[in-house]
A and B are shown apart, each in its own frame.
Chain A
Amino acid sequence: GQQLNQNPQSMFIQEGEDVSMNCTSSSIFNTWLWYKQDPGEGPVLLIALYKAGELTSNGRLTAQFGITRKDSFLNISASIPSDVGIYFCAGPPRGGGSQGNLIFGKGTKLSVKP
């Protein structure tokens, strides 16, 4: 089945640094979603991408839908301590399954040192 590979698995950065993470697949996705999970909470949608090449921002977060439709990138500028959490990429599977169920990557765990 379709899989999403997220890199890196974890990051330890200093407050104020920029962060980059990516998500790749061997197959095409028509929608890319980026979620953040805070400790003890469920994933919360940060950014949704719908078209190849699309670049979308949400505050200090910027995500891009790769041209090949097989990858996506998430950047966080000027990180702050509340950026700590696990970031997941996700997308709906092609060609099957109920509408709405999602495939997720394994997540990138972000730690920020004040």
Chain B
Amino acid sequence: DAKTTQPNSMESNEEEPVHLPCNHSTISGTDYIHWYRQLPSQGPEYVIHGLTSNVNNRMASLAIAEDRKSSTLILHRATLRDAAVYYCIQRPTGTASKLTFGTGTRLQVTL
């Protein structure tokens, strides 16, 4: 299964931007980059995904390197409710593609 590398943990102050990095050096041309987060005692929540171009939605922005071997999830203004484990996932396309979670980054947000 495709493997991504993320820092184990990161800290941020509330209302500051957060940049969560992810390396996916084995990515192939048709693999999508997905980000999910999991708040305590909840199921994972979809955040954003992309292929090549940078993507924005109401939750976050995804910046994808030109060679696609890394990406960064950007939370523009962190709040206490953003404290969660963030998972970066390299997902193949195809009829039997799987969403395989790595160990993720635990984000702590402090006042």
Q: Do A and B come from one complex?
A: no
Which positions in A face B, CB cutoff 8 Å?
Answer: none
Which positions in B face A, CB cutoff 8 Å?
Answer: none
